Amino acid sequence: MVNVVASVGRNGVHDFILLRASAIILALYTLLLAGFFVVTPSVTFDVWQSFFACTIVKVATIFALLALLTHARIGVWQVLSDYVKSAFLRAALQFVFSATLLAYLVFGLLIVWGV
């Protein structure tokens, strides 16, 4: 079997499954939010705040955030590996995007759980 050095332990099937799973999670979260707007006749700040105070909605939001970050990480990796030929520049850009996604995760957790 041939080992691909550039994959860092990942392969195309793994990325394919992660992309599809994250897309399904994001679609379900979109349906949750759309259902909220359909069911709620008048969305005020108090109604919105009470909706997001529910633990199930908080957990769903965290799952959606993780799915979005996973989707973005794989997408950025694919685009950079296809279009940026310089290994140093590709690694630097990958680091910047990974750090940005990590910051999004931290701020998302702080916002959702109100710590």
Ranges of each domain in the chain:
11-113
DSSP string, the chain: -PPPGGGTT--HHHHHHHHHHHHHHHHHHHHHHHHHHHH-SS--HHHHHHHHHSHHHHHHHHHHHHHHHHHHHHHHHHHHHHH---HHHHHHHHHHHHHHHHHHHHHHHHHHHT-
Q: Which CATH class is domain 11-113?
A: mainly alpha
Render pLDDT for 87-103 as a digit per residue (tens, 0 to 9): 999 999 999 999 999 99
Render pLDDT for 3-43 as a digit per residue (tens, 0 to 9): 554 555 567 888 889 999 999 999 999 999 999 999 999 99
User: The whole model's pTM is what?
Assistant: 0.84
